[in-house]
Amino acid sequence: MAQPVPFLEDFDAVLPGAGTGWLDRLRADAQEAFRKSGLPTPRTEAWKYTNLRRLARTGFVAAEANQTTEVTTVPEGIVALEDAYVAVFVNGRFAPSLSSLDGLSEGVEATSLAAKLSADRTSLEGQFSDVTDLPMATLNTGLLSDGLYLKLDDGVALDKPLHLVSIGTAGEEPVSFHPRHLIVAGAGSVATIVESHVGSGAYFSNSVSEVSVGDGAVLNHYKLQNEGPEAYHLAANLVRIADRAVYDNFVLQVGGNLARNEIRSELGERVECRLNGAYLACGEQHIDNTTFIDHAAPNSSSREVYKGVLDENARGVFQGKILVRQDSQKTDGHQLNKTLLLSPGTEIDTKPELEIYADDVQCSHGATTGELEEEPLFYLRARGIDPQTARGMLVAAFVGEALDEIQAEAPRAAFQAVVDDWLESRSERQG
């Protein structure tokens, strides 16, 4: 191929676990696939609204493995959790000195994926999903090196949330990293995982999280994307939810220059799957939320509420697809996407999608875009509240409806605080 392939061309680092047959093959096949596909372009339907041209031009180089030592404190902007296990990653590499995983109860394994791959060459064979239809995740597989490995044995309940903190850092030269997280929640286990993504400088985080929720397990999974203003953040979350399990997901995106969070979930029988989120963007930010819910078995329900607030010249993308397969009778699938546009430079592209092959189902989606409604605004003003305060209240209420979907109380309050900060800084900007 005449064109240089970004991210692979100059890559010569030795990856963890190299020399292991299955792993070498996995990486080599993925690299080959990415060489063929290259970065996705808007011609690809799934990337119609998110253009990676700027990312391609930036000329990222692979982040050095030893950069973890340069970061000595966890920066501000992460989810404020009082009491949690913390696993910190700097440029995709596990940073033990910043982490605190002591006191994990029996039946819980939380470690660095790199360590796991180096130490134990067989146990992860076959654990990584085939992601060939996701070019960026394929690139991630090709360079698979580190991330969180979390395993909960059957019936184990994690006593406090596990907080995954990803810190991106770059000096003069823009860097890229490709973390791979593997989360396996055994049958009947209960856990809350919170992710915070923060950083500074021009970096590109291209992560893949694979989540397996076992039979009857309850997994709360909440993520804050609060990357630095020059950051690119692409994340794919592949979630398999076994029978009778509950998966409660929430994604709040406020940071980054260009960010896309993609969730693909596959549902077993009698599953309750909740994918909710909010996105708040200003300046020239581009924020994309793409979700896919695959009702692969009968009697499951899915619920999705995504709310966005766009200001200045920000652009938002929401793509949400619900697939109900032929045998998935009694499916209940509902999706809602609402976006508030606060200024003339904003743009929202929404593509909700239903693909349904079973007849005994209740499925719906709804989408609205627009500015704040005049009626409530007048009502508030008619009670003496000045326009700016009134608008602030209505915007907060608008986002609040999505935050209310978070089932776990402490994280909900912590995410609320991030939203409040954003709204406050917005009203300050407006003076």
Partner 1 sequence: MSLIEIRDLHATVDGKEILKGIDLTIEAGEVHAIMGPNGSGKSTLSYVLAGRDGYEVTSGQVLFDGEDLLEMEADERARSGLFLAFQYPVEIPGVATTTFLKTAVNAVREHRGEGALDAMQFLKFVREKAGALNINDDMLRRALNVGFSGGEKKRNEVLQMAVLEPKFAVLDETDSGLDIDALKIVADGVNALRGAERGMLVITHYQRLLDYIVPDHVHILAGGKIIQSGDKTLALELEEKGYASFVGAEAA
Partner 2 sequence: MAVSTETLEQVNSIAEDGYKHGFVTDIEQESAPKGLNEDIIRFISAKKEEPEWLLEWRLKAYRHWLTMPEPEWAKVDFPPIDYQDAYYYSAPKSDADKPKSLDEVDPKLLETYEKLGIPLREQEVLAGVAVDAVFDSVSVATTYKKKLEEVGVIFCSFSEAVQEHPELVQKYLGSVVPYADNKHACLNCAVFTDGSFVYIPKGVRCPMELSTYFRINAENTGQFERTLIIADEGSYVSYLEGCTAPQRDEHQLHAAVVELVALDDAEIKYSTVQNWYPGDEEGRGGIYNFVTKRGACRGKNSKIAWTQVETGSAITWKYPSCLLIGDNSVGEFYSVAITANRQQADTGTKMIHIGKNTSSTIISKGISAGRADQSYRGLVKVMASAEGARNFTQCDSLLIGDQCGAHTVPYIETSNPSARVEHEATTAKISEDQLFYCLQRGLSAEEAVSVIVNGFCKEVMKTLPMEFAVEAQKLIGISLEGSVG
> Of the candidates 13, 119, 397, 417, which one interacts with partner 1 according to CB under 8 A?
397
Give the count of alpha carbons within 13 A of 256, CB side only.
Answer: 30
**Partner in contact with 371, chosen from partner 2, partner 1, none, beta carbon below 5 to 8 Å by kind:** partner 2
Residue 46 contact, options partner 2, partner 1, none, Cβ 5-8 Å cut-off depending on partner type: none
Nearest distance from residue 376's CB to partner 1, in Å?
5
Chosen residue from 1, 2, 14, 382 binding partner 1 by CB under 8 A: 382
Stretch of residues binding partner 1 (CB under 8 A), selected from 132-140, 163-171, 274-282, 387-395:
387-395
Phi-psi region of 192 (alpha: psi -120 to 50; beta: other; left: phi over 0): beta
Q: Would you count residue 329 as binding partner 2 (CB under 8 A)? A: yes
Identified binder of partner 1 from the candidate list 80, 115, 394, 413, rule CB under 8 A: 394
> 369 contacts which partner out of partner 2, partner 1, none, CB within 5 to 8 A by kind?
partner 2
**Taking CB under 8 A as the rule, does residue 396 contact partner 1?**
yes
The window from 21-29, 119-127, 155-163, 396-404 that contacts partner 1 (CB under 8 A) reads 396-404
Min dist. Cβ of residue 386 to partner 1 (A): 5
Q: Are strands 93-94 and 108-112 parallel, antiparallel or unpaired?
A: unpaired
CB 191 within 8 A of CB 152: yes
Q: Which of 220/331 has CB closer to partner 2? A: 331
Tell me the C-alpha distance between 340 and 388, whole Å: 16
Query: Interface with partner 1 includes 357 (CB under 8 A)?
Result: no
Q: Is 393 in the site for partner 1 (CB under 8 A)?
A: yes
386 binds partner 1 (CB under 8 A): yes
Based on the shown chain and the rule CB under 8 A, indicate whether residue 413 belongs to the binding site for partner 1. no
Q: Does 378 bind partner 1 (CB under 8 A)?
A: yes
Least distance from partner 2 to the Cβ atom of residue 37, Å: 18
d(CA 149, CA 194): 14
CB 289 within 8 A of CB 259: no
User: Minimum distance from CB of 72 to partner 2 (Å)?
Assistant: 43
**Residues in contact with partner 1, total (CB under 8 A)?**
24
What's the min distance (Å) between Cβ of 260 and partner 1? 27
Name the site residues for partner 2 (rule: CB under 8 A).
45, 326, 329, 339, 341-344, 346-371
Name the site residues for partner 1 (rule: CB under 8 A).
374-376, 378-387, 389-390, 393-394, 396-401, 404
